[in-house]
Amino acid sequence: RKPSTTCSAFCPVWTKSEESPIPTMSGQKKRVAIIGSGNWGCAIAKIVGANCKRHPEFEDTVKMWVFEEMINGRKLTEIINTEHENVKYMKGIKLPDNIVAEPDLVKAATGAHVLIFVLPHQFLGNICKKIAGTHAPDCIAISLIKAVHFDDKGMVLISDM
């Protein structure tokens, strides 16, 4: 099935009349989590948040894992959750109100049917170890990681990490 319109190769926008390409085992609403919250993560969060609100097969709330930092004496997650803006990485750009910043990686990933990875590639291995088994059994992962990894044998695809 082709998307109605596309924001990029990774972000199809589905119309209400089209069936989502992401199945679940029980027909329950699908939970989406974004792992990463930098510039690219927040740009994707705008699209994902809007799509989850628009499509009834998805839960409205999208958890976004945020590495907790203090910004002018406030937690970054608090700022994102109250002002709907990542003032460190996307100042001036509002996030949808259904994007919920979560500093606990395991809580962000728990029960997710869709995990969207948008973080530096060097963190992927440890992140995956920490969240293994916390997601839904029929979970799919989408990698929006913009890099390649090298080990002592040469280049390693992100999908093989």
The kind and range of the H/E element at 15 are none
Coil, helix or strand at residue 132: coil
CA distance 25 to 144: 25
CB neighbour list of residue 141: distance below 8 Å, 6 or more residues apart? 114, 115, 116, 117
- Report yes or no: 134 and 35 within 8 Å, Cβ to Cβ: no
The whole-model pTM stands at 0.80
pLDDT (tens place) for every residue of the chain, 161 residues total: 344 333 333 344 444 445 555 555 556 899 999 999 999 999 999 999 999 999 999 999 999 999 999 999 999 999 999 999 999 999 999 999 999 999 999 999 999 999 999 998 888 889 999 999 999 999 999 989 877 778 888 887 666 76
Say how far apart CA 40 and CA 156 lie, in whole Å. 22
Q: CA-to-CA distance for 34 and 98, rounded, in angstroms?
A: 12
